[in-house]
Structure 1
Amino acid sequence: MKKKFKYYNFGVPLLFLLLSCSSLNHKISTTEGREKTVFQTSAHWKPSIDVRADAAIVYGANDRTDLRFEERVKSWKDRGYDTHFMTGIAWGEYQDYFTGKWDGKWHLDEGQVTRQGDTIWHGHMVPYIVPSENFIRYMKEEHIKKVIDAGIDAIYLEEPEFWARAGYSEAFKREWKDYYGFNWRPQHESPENTYLSNKLKYHLYYKALDDCFSFAKEYGKSKGMNVRCYVPTHSLVNYSQWQIVSPEASLASLPSMDGYIAQVWTGTSREPNYYNGVVKERVFETAFLEYGSMESMTAPTGRKMFFLTDPIEDRARDWGDYKKNYQATFSAQLLYPNIADYEVMPWPERIYEGLYKNPNSEEKEKIPRPYSTQMQIMINSLNSMPESENRVSGSHGIGVLMANSLMFQRFPTHDGYEDPQLSNFYGQALPFLKRGVPVKILHIENVSYPGTWKGLKVLIMSYSNMKPDSSKSHKYIADWVKSGGVLIYCGKDDDPFQTVREWWNTKDNQYERASDHLFKLMNMPFFAPEAEYRYGKGSIYVIRKDPKEFVLENNNDDHLITTVKNIYEKKGNTLEFKNNFTLTRGMYEIISVLDESVSKQPYVLKGLFIDLFDPQLPVVNEKTVYPGEQSFLLNLSRVDNPKRPQVLASASRVYNENVLRNQYSFLTKSPVNTTNVMRVLLPARPKEWNLYDSNRNKLTELDWNWDETSKTAFLSFENNPEGIEINIEW
């Protein structure tokens, strides 16, 4: 039963005298490059947004009327944060460049322009940029150099984005002539022009990032610094669906590139897709594939990957919508057990201070206390989220091939060939994902890395919506088949991009279709008919349907499913179909139950758990998860060293833990105007609580109750970023 605890004045224990001598501005992270949790903000430190991740990524290098960039950085450093830097590479507050303040020349003509002659704007006087040599020089001199001089040793250049519908500006025409050696051609006039246009867009941002990062590394080295460089970017799934071109997987091979932030959140994952003839939002499934496409870019290359989620999104919705979809994307990211670094949120200022609709009215309000509490429980769990050798439940070894060229064929449409909502990709993945099979994503850009093929049994691929980057990619695919792999090739090979002037139909190669070269390597006929073929120890199955056909119509994926099932089980495995995904990571249990699946049965887990999606942190001995829902639990039977007093879950970050014979104490911090809840594991029911603020004032407002079964106490009190010291005696 919840009750107020009566406080007795027994004096301040010696332990708290020692704690009070230490700085409450506790250093959060300790080793360069070991940041596990980060967040990005354009604001200076404020008590309302003190998120308590390891590093604060300070956004934008511009000075403000009342605050210089260096002062913003210092405000976070003074609170114990490592400080990093982020800005856009395709857009940003670069008005001094565009209006000529920097070099005396007007540069608004360097914006991305559509066929109608309209500049694509990101904000007032902020166009999406065609990254010219001059612009790259400006970025180096005015932004990268400045932040390194300020002591920043981690730089994030985000969202290298070139809109597929753009490509008509004079700046782009100049880049075309320099790159191809012949005059610009309008992309709408032919599939080849479209392909060439998008390939150039891809190259321009690849080069821009390479130049900027190489400069950052060298300049940092000259100052005795090891500068790390990251690219926060949407997934290849999202950019392809939203018709944006970006370098994506190729960046992972840049010597100057240290890693990515996977920018996946409700706003990207709610993009509708088709399944069983129905187009709608499928947030969990899309997020799972988005995170998978990001994870596969770095898994074989060893680069660092932060996974991002956002408790809200750019588009105006209500708090109920945000909460539901945050849980879906959060669960999806946790189902990748080899990723354990996170951007816990972007823009805490808009999350904690922004006004959004209440789901029960049209009135706008700040984040509801129950939601902010739940969110803080979730993000603080990420500070201790372990990597795990466990695998998400289901039959493993089925992969879908992707390529950066997915972005090259999305806009405009040619010869009436449509790929609605990226259905040629989803047609390969969703039929398995919806049956509880954890589909693996492979990037054709990474096929030369041995790690790409680890554990893969069946690879599904199509050239209906993408094309191979080089002939070398085919050699690696053919070698994998020869050694025993099974390839499922789906496609009619009649899309208009088969004939673009590329490596497979130029110089010594004269193939009508990109797949003909691959088939020749495996001793198959050109335009191989639908059949099974053998090559070495492996097999190739050709299905002469475009993958989109498997999802654009109801119950039209049987051919694909049956083919893969028969192959999988011929190898002595069982292809399990189910309606859920589960994973155990350390003491955490992640569960997602699918709708539109093989069953409508809920998933029931029995044991002793703390429900981390519930802001009251209840202890439950059974959890039922229904189709379309997710769950995040702390399994009390899996707690390390259960005899030791410890905070198991908290809507704050915990520091300076000390355990004495009958006493446990710690310091806790989280943003002001939020409610803290905690589950604390103790040997026995507490006899006394003492709480102190940073000024050594004793606090008396504490709700608590004791759960004898779990030996845990539930605490609730108001958070304070300055720190609250807690002493428990039993």
Structure 2
Amino acid sequence: MMRRTLIFVCSLCLSVTAMAQEKTAFQTSSAWTPEIDVRSDIAIVYGAGDRRGMTFEARVKSWRERGYQTHFMTGIAWGNYEDYFTGKWDGKNHFGIGQVEQDGDTIWHGRNVPYVVPESTFIAYMKEAIIKKVIDAGISHIHLEEPEFWARAGYSEVFKKEWQQYYGFPWQPQHTSPENTYLSSKLKYHLYYNAIKEVSEYAKAYGKQKGMDVKVYIPTHSLVNYSSWRIVSPEASLASLPSIDGYIAQVWTGTSREPTYFNGLRKERVFENAFLEYGSMISMTAPTGRKIFLLTDPIEDWPRDWGDYKRNYEATFTAKLLYPMVANYEVMPWPERIYTRPYKLPNSDSSILIPKYYSTQMQIMVNALNSMPETANRVSGVNGIGVLMGNSMMFQRFPTHQGFEDPQFSNFYGQTLPLVKLGIPVQTVHMENLPFEATLKDIKVLVMSYSNMKPMSAEVHQHLAAWVKKGGVLIYCGRDDDPYQSVQEWWNTKGNTFKAPSEHLFRLLGVKPEQSQARVGKGYVYIVREHPKEFVMNAAGEKSYVALVQKAYEESAKAGKLLFRNSLYVSRGMYDVVAVMDENNDQNPFVVKGPVIDLFDPTLPVLASKSVTPGKQALLLNVGRVKEPGKPQVLAAAARIYNEERKAGAYSFVAKSPAKTVNAMRILLPSAPKETVLHGPGGEKITPAATSWDESSKTVFLQFDNSPDGVKVEISY
């Protein structure tokens, strides 16, 4: 991010004197309004178009005038680019660059908004009509969102032309063979890699001409989700581009509620899925040092009841907090739809605006992110087990060939879910990052399979073999009988004659494909001739797999005892983050001793202890770990705190949050308050809706209506 003098929020309070940090953000297509004044550090203004009665520049100005840093975001695979599609920009109609399915239908993102094949004219439009305009408006942080090519697409004339240019021979329909599917996906991958590279390099160069240090970020779904949803994207390769400065990990209920198999049952497992999604995004960026923001959304795109939104928001929110090495967040997308638009309930004609209790809870959680610290603390459980993944996971998801199925992306979940369910915070490892020494630095046991992906180069195997010989333990799972084993690739061309890519790896390791285990240098190799999907699609199918991982960790790696739990836990400053898994033989709750403040409860109760039961999560503020406990301070609030003043026997501050919402807060004081006085932004006196004192935590609870212009609170004690 841009280098500047930073005024950091204390990790143990919510107070800020200026919005100088770049820690929290939200994205919005709207101008500032009092109902969506979220009070994060950054407002990411979406779309460069002018609106009725308001230019793009005026939208940006409306947020800057309220103290926000302003970034810009736009879609790179779709967007409201009607001037381009209809020919207003260059006199040519460009609707023909839409992504097209086998039946000839264009895939649409919205009315007159196709998903595009990013050929040269579209790239030129993005540079000249979008990026230049944004930089001219003084914005130095640009987010190119969701480079997505649908796996089922690849039949348009423009795609056929790109095929000829890239491969040097005529287009072949992907549905006719695994070879053509693989080639089609590789081209889709390349087209968006090239588009991102060209547009980001242009942004950097043009910004430099203007004396600006432009930063470029990629908001994207995880590799886990794109593979599951059958979408192709450059993903991990972008992390090594010099013109890319970071990512936003777009994980939320809509992605994480995709059903998965475990113990033979197909159902939603939102927390576990979200945990793996965030993990894949972090492992993609960590070795390259790129900055990453973790996103979650209090609602989702499809009609559900508000209880469903709340439950799954808590699950995804907890999942991201269990990665304590990251403390930058996109707190929500589209506050205008969250705060101001009634949501239609399922199987009903009625629509309901966000309930007051939920908006209060949501803002408490969002404001906790403003002070959430990074920490060197590790998540509970064994942190040394990894699962290898790669971009080619996206290449063989559609269509099905020769009857080989991977229902619900189960070959990936077969390697990961059985471990997460046992309280093992399995780490995903991107094969594209293997050249970075840090990638395998802390991994003791690495699980891999070519049942659902293939190595993009022989270099992958060279790194893996070297790691094993130095003492790593590798578990290879798979029958190597899927139709993609024989696609024309490096392992069977240019003098190589391997029937499966794993044979090349085994040769480097000095083991035979039919061996079940072998000592290799200082390390070990285990070969399991089962597809990982069998571990989760069959009832109790994970048992032998888990036993092998345990043996590999304890006996071969000699890394200590592999402990099984039903929970994941980490402490981050004064915060406790807990998730307890169901579908586990251990049905005991996880108990946190207090006093703690429950931040998932809009009444902010102080509890002597909190018991978290299987299938539930918790975010708790542990009063016993507050620094400077004798100092008056706001511990938790559904508002952001400004202008704090402390005098003998007195404490005051200003609380700001969106209009038409209710603030709830816990304030730490040396003793019970004698008087509490509230004034609105016009100086009018306000009577709080609720106030109470808790002696066990030395906190006062206050509740009153929020104002984006600020409510001044004065307490004497």
Q: TM-score higher than 0.5 here?
A: yes
**Cα offset, 1:606, TM superposition:** 1.7
Deviations 1:172-198 (A, max 9, x none): 011111111111110011101000000
Q: Would the aligned equivalents of 2:37 and 2:708 in 1 still touch at CA under 8 Å?
A: yes
* Letter of the structure 1 residue corresponding to residue 531 of structure 2: D
**Cα offset, 1:460, TM superposition:** 0.2
Structure 1 unaligned spans of 5+: 1-25
Match of 2:551 among 540, 559, 566: 566
Q: Would the aligned equivalents of 1:27 and 1:80 in 2 still touch at CA under 8 Å?
A: no
For the pair 1:197 / 2:176, whether they are aligned, the reply is no
* Letter of the structure 1 residue corresponding to residue 529 of structure 2: R
Please name the residue that 2:388 is paired with: 401
Please name the residue that 2:19 is paired with: 29
Deviations 1:444-476 (A, max 9, x none): 000111111121100000001000111111111
Structure 1 residues 322, 159: closer, same or farther in 2, change over 3 A? same
Structure 1 residues 183, 360: closer, same or farther in 2, change over 3 A? closer
Q: Would the aligned equivalents of 1:176 and 1:183 in 2 still touch at CA under 8 Å?
A: yes
Aligned to 1:383, the other structure's residue is in SS state helix
For residues 431 and 372 of structure 1, what CA distance do their matches in structure 2 show? 35
For residues 331 and 546 of structure 2, what CA distance do their matches in structure 1 show? 37
Structure 2 unaligned spans of 5+: 1-15
Please name the residue that 2:429 is paired with: 442
For the pair 1:504 / 2:491, whether they are aligned, the reply is yes
Aligned to 1:61, the other structure's residue is in SS state coil
Please name the residue that 2:342 is paired with: 355
Match of 1:324 among 307, 311, 315: 311
Please name the residue that 2:169 is paired with: 182
Please name the residue that 1:209 is paired with: 196
Deviations 1:251-292 (A, max 9, x none): 100000000000000000000010011000000000000000
Please name the residue that 1:168 is paired with: 155
**Cα offset, 1:318, TM superposition:** 1.0
For residues 519 and 297 of structure 1, what CA distance do their matches in structure 2 show? 26
* Letter of the structure 1 residue corresponding to residue 658 of structure 2: P
**Cα offset, 1:601, TM superposition:** 1.6
**Cα offset, 1:320, TM superposition:** 0.7
- Pairwise mapping of residues 255-334 of structure 1 onto structure 2 (< 5 A)? 255-334=242-321
Percent identity, aligned pairs only, is: 63
* Letter of the structure 2 residue corresponding to residue 48 of structure 1: E
For the pair 1:455 / 2:479, whether they are aligned, the reply is no
Deviations 1:421-450 (A, max 9, x none): 000000000111111111011000001111
**Cα offset, 1:530, TM superposition:** 4.2
Please name the residue that 2:675 is paired with: 688
**Cα offset, 1:363, TM superposition:** 3.1
Deviations 1:539-593 (A, max 9, x none): 0000000100101110012221111111211115111111111110100001111
Deviations 1:133-179 (A, max 9, x none): 11000000000000000000100010000000000000101111111
**Cα offset, 1:693, TM superposition:** 2.0
Number of matched pairs: 700
Q: Would the aligned equivalents of 1:28 and 1:82 in 2 still touch at CA under 8 Å?
A: no
Please name the residue that 2:479 is paired with: 492
**Cα offset, 1:362, TM superposition:** 6.2
For the pair 1:524 / 2:511, whether they are aligned, the reply is yes
Q: Would the aligned equivalents of 1:568 and 1:575 in 2 still touch at CA under 8 Å?
A: yes
Q: Would the aligned equivalents of 2:359 and 2:661 in 1 still touch at CA under 8 Å?
A: yes
For residues 112 and 399 of structure 2, what CA distance do their matches in structure 1 show? 27
For residues 594 and 693 of structure 1, what CA distance do their matches in structure 2 show? 45
Please name the residue that 2:684 is paired with: 697
For residues 234 and 545 of structure 2, what CA distance do their matches in structure 1 show? 31
Please name the residue that 1:247 is paired with: 234
Q: Would the aligned equivalents of 2:688 and 2:702 in 1 still touch at CA under 8 Å?
A: no
* Letter of the structure 1 residue corresponding to residue 521 of structure 2: G
Structure 1 residues 98, 28: closer, same or farther in 2, change over 3 A? farther
Match of 1:71 among 58, 63, 74: 58
* Letter of the structure 2 residue corresponding to residue 476 of structure 1: H
**Cα offset, 1:662, TM superposition:** 1.3
For residues 112 and 695 of structure 2, what CA distance do their matches in structure 1 show? 62
**Cα offset, 1:690, TM superposition:** 2.1
Q: Would the aligned equivalents of 1:671 and 1:721 in 2 still touch at CA under 8 Å?
A: yes
Deviations 1:204-238 (A, max 9, x none): 00110110100000101111111110000000010
**Cα offset, 1:698, TM superposition:** 2.5
Please name the residue that 1:159 is paired with: 146
* Letter of the structure 2 residue corresponding to residue 271 of structure 1: E
Please name the residue that 2:538 is paired with: 553
Q: Would the aligned equivalents of 1:28 and 1:53 in 2 still touch at CA under 8 Å?
A: no
Aligned to 2:288, the other structure's residue is in SS state coil
- Pairwise mapping of residues 111-126 of structure 1 onto structure 2 (< 5 A)? 111-126=98-113
Aligned to 2:287, the other structure's residue is in SS state coil
Match of 2:639 among 631, 634, 652: 652
Q: CA RMSD in A?
A: 1.2
Structure 1 residues 166, 533: closer, same or farther in 2, change over 3 A? same
For residues 688 and 394 of structure 2, what CA distance do their matches in structure 1 show? 56
Please name the residue that 1:20 is paired with: none
Aligned to 1:140, the other structure's residue is in SS state helix
**Cα offset, 1:360, TM superposition:** 12
Q: Would the aligned equivalents of 1:667 and 1:726 in 2 still touch at CA under 8 Å?
A: yes
Q: Would the aligned equivalents of 1:28 and 1:81 in 2 still touch at CA under 8 Å?
A: no
Match of 1:538 among 508, 523, 526: 523
Aligned to 1:300, the other structure's residue is in SS state helix
Aligned to 2:170, the other structure's residue is in SS state coil
For residues 46 and 701 of structure 2, what CA distance do their matches in structure 1 show? 37
* Letter of the structure 2 residue corresponding to residue 564 of structure 1: V
Aligned to 2:646, the other structure's residue is in SS state strand
Structure 1 residues 575, 702: closer, same or farther in 2, change over 3 A? same
Q: Would the aligned equivalents of 1:27 and 1:81 in 2 still touch at CA under 8 Å?
A: no
Please name the residue that 1:17 is paired with: none
Please name the residue that 1:55 is paired with: 42
Deviations 1:595-651 (A, max 9, x none): 101312222222210000000001001111111111110000110111111000000
Q: Would the aligned equivalents of 1:589 and 1:633 in 2 still touch at CA under 8 Å?
A: yes
Please name the residue that 1:4 is paired with: none
Q: Would the aligned equivalents of 2:651 and 2:714 in 1 still touch at CA under 8 Å?
A: yes
For residues 383 and 682 of structure 2, what CA distance do their matches in structure 1 show? 55
Q: Would the aligned equivalents of 1:262 and 1:307 in 2 still touch at CA under 8 Å?
A: yes
For residues 607 and 128 of structure 1, what CA distance do their matches in structure 2 show? 51
Please name the residue that 2:606 is paired with: 619
Please name the residue that 1:475 is paired with: 462
For residues 466 and 419 of structure 2, what CA distance do their matches in structure 1 show? 25
For the pair 1:132 / 2:119, whether they are aligned, the reply is yes
**Cα offset, 1:708, TM superposition:** 1.1
Q: Would the aligned equivalents of 1:676 and 1:717 in 2 still touch at CA under 8 Å?
A: yes
For the pair 1:678 / 2:665, whether they are aligned, the reply is yes
For residues 300 and 386 of structure 2, what CA distance do their matches in structure 1 show? 30
**Cα offset, 1:703, TM superposition:** 2.0
For residues 654 and 298 of structure 2, what CA distance do their matches in structure 1 show? 26
Q: Would the aligned equivalents of 1:648 and 1:678 in 2 still touch at CA under 8 Å?
A: yes
Q: Would the aligned equivalents of 1:28 and 1:54 in 2 still touch at CA under 8 Å?
A: no
Structure 1 residues 382, 360: closer, same or farther in 2, change over 3 A? farther
For residues 345 and 713 of structure 2, what CA distance do their matches in structure 1 show? 34
TM-score by length of 2: 0.96
For residues 701 and 717 of structure 1, what CA distance do their matches in structure 2 show? 5
